[in-house]
């Protein structure tokens, strides 16, 4: 049995559909390959599914973060509070606008930003708080929303990994002034290409992002540029493909949740053996990635590989310890983030794993923890 961490067959059952879409759009009289009717319908579908005022498709999840920060007028002299553990765009997006990413340490178990740390770092220069959902756990958005409101700052919710997640009845992406999704292939609503989405309940943010993604144009009159913007437009083929796939997203999410809950139940007894599963819960879970915290992480990775099971180390260094971002974090300490970087190991959770394969993976983890 060989189970790769990144499966090569995510879209195997939909190849014919994708080829039909390519042919249809490629031969259509209007020859519209970006920001056409499929993109508009895709945006409307996402908007309505989460109850947003606007949804704006763009080039990637990373671009979505940058577009929203620009729409929020983040620039030189501003600070953006971000998690100390996570994906590089969390720090890069504010830094590329001349702002300073301020790193909040994370909860040592869930690996999402600690609200108490966020509150401690608020300063007169803070413009935005930008928490991120991590692996299978959504951040404590009610607490962070309260902090942002009390401080009078904007809240940008990085939901790149959490599309389909719900916390307290509110969809991931809708706790902040704006939220972002990513559609890169391994995400919960991934596709065979790059793409992202901004969702917001604030029509002014939506209008600004819509201009910024298309060179500052308003979509009505070409070559009239209201703002200095970017080229971050969405592909019509990918929009049509996602429109086709949206109806089956709930069942893929349900399968991911089923696998994740099974893992958590199986691994609940391993904490005393040096392997810690995510906290058991159903609310605020998204199951994009299922990541364990293992004291002997590298040995567990090797053990799984010997059983034909792929695994993956996300973020082997805390963000302030990365060379690119170290200048923004002189002399600080982020013990929980640095511990997570040494211990985290993700195991397969893609929805077309069979029950037997999931059991095989769980058996291998349990065998390592109990026999090592």
What is the separation of C-alpha 217 from the centre of its chain, rounded to a whole number of angstroms? 28
Both tokens assigned to 262: 């099974």
Residues 318, 29: Cα–Cα separation, whole Å: 50
C-alpha dist (Å) from residue 93 to 111, 122, 315: 20, 19, 17
Residues 66, 214: Cα–Cα separation, whole Å: 13
127 labelled catalytic:
no
CA quadruple 11, 16, 21, 27: dihedral, nearest 10: 140
Q: Which of 32, 127, 187, 370 is catalytic?
A: 187
Which residue numbers are catalytic? 187
């Amino acid at each position: 049995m060989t189970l790769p961490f990144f499966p090569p067959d995510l879209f195997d059952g939909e190849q014919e559909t994708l080829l039909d879409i390519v042919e249809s759009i490629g031969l259509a009289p209007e020859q519209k390959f970006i920001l056409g009717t499929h993109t508009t319908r895709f945006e409307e579908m996402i908007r309505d599914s989460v109850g947003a005022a606007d949804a704006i498709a763009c080039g990637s999840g990373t671009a979505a973060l940058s577009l929203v920060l620009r729409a929020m007028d983040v620039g030189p002299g501003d600070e953006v509070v971000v998690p100390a553990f996570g994906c590089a765009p969390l720090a890069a997006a504010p830094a590329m606008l001349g702002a300073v990413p301020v790193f909040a340490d994370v909860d040592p178990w869930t690996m999402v930003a600690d609200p108490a740390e966020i509150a401690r770092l608020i300063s007169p220069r803070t413009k935005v708080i930008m928490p991120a959902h991590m692996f299978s756990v959504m951040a404590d958005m009610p607490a962070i929303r309260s902090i942002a409101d009390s401080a009078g700052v904007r809240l940008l919710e990085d939901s790149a990994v959490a599309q389909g997640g719900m916390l307290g009845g509110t969809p991931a992406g809708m706790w902040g002034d704006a939220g972002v999704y990513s559609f890169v292939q391994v995400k919960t609503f991934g596709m065979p290409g790059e793409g992202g989405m901004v969702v917001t309940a604030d029509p002014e943010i939506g209008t600004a992002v819509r201009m910024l993604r298309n060179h500052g144009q308003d979509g009505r009159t070409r070559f009239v540029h209201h703002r200095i913007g970017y080229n971050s437009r969405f592909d019509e083929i990918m929009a049509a493909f996602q429109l086709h796939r949206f109806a089956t997203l709930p069942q893929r999410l349900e399968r991911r949740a089923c696998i994740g809950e099974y893992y958590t139940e199986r691994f609940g007894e391993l904490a005393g053996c040096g392997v810690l599963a995510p906290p058991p819960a159903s609310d605020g879970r998204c199951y994009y990635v299922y990541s364990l915290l293992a004291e002997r992480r590298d040995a567990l990775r090797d053990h799984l590989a010997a059983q034909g099971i792929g695994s993956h180390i996300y973020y082997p260094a805390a963000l302030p310890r990365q060379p690119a971002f170290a200048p923004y974090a002189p002399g600080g300490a982020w013990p929980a983030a640095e511990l997570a970087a040494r211990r985290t190991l993700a195991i397969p959770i893609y929805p077309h794993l069979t029950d037997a394969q999931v059991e095989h993976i769980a058996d291998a983890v349990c065998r390592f923890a109990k026999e090592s």
